[in-house]
Structure formats: structure tokens, C-alpha cells
Amino acid sequence: MRERLRCKEIWVDGANKYRNPDEDLPADFEENRDEHYLALDKPKEAEEFIAKLQQEMRDALVMFNNGFPKNTKVKILPKKGGYIKLTPLDEQTAPPNLGAIKKQVFERWPTIGLLDILKETNFRTGFTSVFSSTASREYLDPNELTKRLLLCIFAYGTNTGLKRISASNPEITHEELRHIRRRYLTKTNLRGGISEVINAILREREEKYFGEVTTSIAGDSKKFGIWDQNLLTEYHIRYGGRGVVIYWHIDRKSALIFSQIKSCSSSEVASMIEGVLRHCTDMEIQKGYVDSHGQSAVGFAFSYMLRFDLLPRIKAIHKEKLYRPETGKPEDYPYLQNILTRPIRWDIILEQYDQIVKFATALCLGTADAESILRRFTSNNAQHPVYQVLMELGKAVKTIFLCRYLNSEELRREIQEGLNVVESSNSVNDFIFYGKAREISTNRREDQELSMLCLHLLQNSLVYINTLMLQSVLSHPQWEGKLEKEDKRAITALFYEHVNPYGLILIDLNQRIPIDKFEAANDQRIANAA
């Protein structure tokens, strides 16, 4: 029953997460079929769709087969029924000027408070202007409101809490910050503020320093410890310990595009698709870099239908197989024979093509979140006809990707560089989210999401200010024409050596803590007062 409920073979009347799966699909699909096909840019005839995909498979296999004799980094061995041996990427040349550039940044801005970075970002972008109150009216002075909003965001984003922040600011009480938290710190407001900062980063970046506007993002999850008396917390089978995972989407120049808080067993494929579709910024995403856990045959199928490239770094590449685009030609692609397997079953794709478009439309329109829709398509529900079709479609798309991936060292390096940015971002998460041993100490789902979104906003503020600092340094005449290709490749706004996350730390040797012994008279006075 658990497995059937998980893949929605059975459902619960009146539920949301476990509702009737037909309610996840667009109700107007039959009436507006032509518009939905047009929105996905897919032909209405299944034969035309299949012919196009078949030709893409042929082109990819021919390209890989013809380039294989000169491909010194890939070997196909006959052992174990076909074994792909891939040589690791060579180490890249170190950027010659990056150290000097960062040194100048640190000399001009030796120590900056994290709260000051958040404040300066708001001065320049005005992201707090999108924070509206849930009450019908408010009488707070705008400057005072902004001040309290920034303190609340800092308290949640660093995990230090409202009490400690109010104790450091005597003019603002804990109750006043709690009032701001209740009335203004909502998911909608925070996502709106995050969107403002991301769009400001994309506007401010100068192409001559950071390269062309990126259309690719990398996705990965990071585990956070959390109290265990709630339904979201689970034991993480890979990292150990109880907690949740936050799935991040980050562009190649370090801006966090989207974030989601998930249980440890949730699908990373669904999280990847959700972030591509719901990022709410001006960015047009065309590529998504993921690791092995962020890809599957179903993921490849939906990425093809939703018109973006799923580009994973596959750990067990030696086990992968290539599927044939057609039957009756067993001698085609002679260099790839050891890893070629059966042809794609185009007949079942032909039968269920309309259903594939229907589910892709549901993802695109957001009639349900990606995880709810993809939950139906797991190995526990292998008999579902649409699942079988998605597996076939995914295998065809994955074959095209594998041919490109194995044929092109540039593509492999591009994917590696994209995922390296995510790993760097995870270290910045630890730096910013330092309070309470980095454990989210609440059982309320709403507060957990607020911590995630405030951390998201703080990190993007850091990237925004660092971007302006780097461009200020690079605009000096001494750097005119000196940046080399390796410098532009490696330049990033994701660094924090010049940032003090804790605020001011001052020492005054003339100031003492008054810890004198009480005199008898004082003792008697205290007793009388009592």
C-alpha cells in the first residue's frame, strides 16, 4: 500500500499531496490542445515528432562513430558486455591575474560586515520595496521599517535568531522584530526580493569581464541539520544524520537563481525541473548541469519536451549503453558495436504521444509541482503505459546526450565547471548560515522555508556587492587589455575572505566588567528592597 500510494496508484479523497492524480493534469487540455502543442513547440502529429528525434539520434551516433578513431580520451572495451573507459579531464591552466585582482579588492575593502552588504544591496536595488504587509494598514516610518526588515532577514539568513539580533540593537525590541516577521516576512515577499537582486546582478554584470549573458544553470542539493519532530525531516542515506536538503540552482557566474527545501528522499530530478520552470527571474534557461542523482531517463524525456538541455555528469559512465534509432541495420556504427543495444520502441511512443504532451503541459503550467507529477513514474509503477513511453523517449534523448558527451571534451569540461560553482556555493552557505551549529532549530515548515529564503537573499547580496567591487577594480586603467582568457573563465563573485559575518568585534582595554563584592550595606539594602 505504501508503494502504491507513493506512485499514486491509489489516492486519498480530499488530500492535496496524495490526491487523485488526474487532478494534477490541465483540465482544459482537450479543448485547447492546439495551444498547448504550440506552447511546447511540438508538432501535433506523432509521426513528425518521431521522425525528427530519429534523425537527431542518427546524426549523434554518426558524429560519435566517425570521430571515435581520433578520440584519445574515450575507449570502448569488450569486457563486461561493453565498457566505456573515459580519461579524466586535464588540469586547467591557472589564471595568471586572478590573485592580484582579489588582492586589490581586499586592500580597498579589507573588512565588511555581512549586514552592511545586505544594507548596501537594498540601497542600490530597493528590494525591500516589494515587501508588503499582510495587515490592512501600517503606520511605521519607512526608514524604521526598512531597518527592521533587514535585521529580520539577517537573523533568519545567518540562523542567529531574532533574540540575539535584538540584543545587539537596544533601540529595537524582540517584540518589534517578531511583529515584522509576522507581517512582512512571507515566502512571496522574500522570493520577490530575491528576484529583484538577481535581476540587478544580471543587469550590472559587464560582458567584457564576466563574458556573455549566461543561459545555463547548475543544480545540486545540500543537506542541513534540522530538528526531528516534524514530517519533513528524514535520515539522509548518503550523508548520514537527520535533516532536510535544500536544492540550489546557480548560474555559471555564481548567482543563486532558485532554492527549494525538500526531504532527503525527494527526487532531485523533480527539483531540477521545478527550478528551471519556476525561477521567476529575467533569465532564459537553456541548459541545466546536474550530477548523477539529478538525471534519469524520465528526466531526459521531460527536458526534451520542455526544450532545455539536461547535461549531467554521470558517475557510472562505464555502464551506459547507446540505443539504436531503427531496426534492421545491425552493422551501422562499427566503432560503437560493444555498447550498442536494442532499438527504441517507437510504436509505443506513437501510441502515447498525446499523453506525453499532456504531462509536459502540466509541468509547464504548474497545475501541480514537478515532484507530484513525477511520483507516478517510478520503477514501482513500471506497468504504467505513460511511464513506459517516457522511459523509451528518455533513452533516445540520453543516447543523443551520451554521444555528444563522449565525443566532446569541451562539453565535459563545461559541465564540470558548472558543477564546481555549486560546490563553491555550498561552502559560502556554511560561512553565512553559521548560527546554532548550522542546524535549523524549528519544527514549523514555514520558518524552515524562511531560513532558506533569507540565506538565499543574503548570498545573492554578497554576489551582487562582490560583482560591483570586482568591476570597480577592473575598470582601473592598469587592467586595460591585461585580462587573459583564463582570467575571464575563472573570475567569480563568490568569495568572502573580506567579509565579517558577525558584525563589529571591538576591544577596549580601558573598559572593565564590574564584578565587585557586595558590601554589608548593599546586602541589607537589597534585603529590604526584597
Using CA atoms of 114, 117, 122, 125 in order, give the dihedral in degrees to the nearest 10: -140
Q: Which pLDDT tens digit goes with each residue over 65-76?
A: 999 999 999 999
- pTM here is 0.89
Q: How many CB atoms lie within 10 A of CB 321?
A: 16
> Rounded mean pLDDT of 373-377?
79
Instruction: Round the average pLDDT of the chain to a whole number and report it.
Output: 88
- Percentages of the chain per state (helix, strand, coil), in multiples of 5: 55, 10, 35
Question: In this predicted structure, what is the pLDDT of residue 354?
Answer: 92
C-alpha cell at 296: 534519469
- Report the first-to-last Cα separation within the chain, whole angstroms: 66
Question: In this predicted structure, what is the pLDDT of residue 215?
Answer: 82
Helix, strand or coil, per DSSP, at residue 378: coil
Question: Is the model's pLDDT at 59 over the cut of 60?
Answer: yes
CA atoms within 13 A on the CB side of 417: 18
Helix, strand or coil, per DSSP, at residue 102: helix
> Rounded mean pLDDT of 363-385?
78
Q: Which pLDDT tens digit goes with each residue over 119-139?
A: 999 999 999 999 999 887 878
351 vs 235: which has the higher pLDDT: 351
* Rg, the chain, Cα only: 27
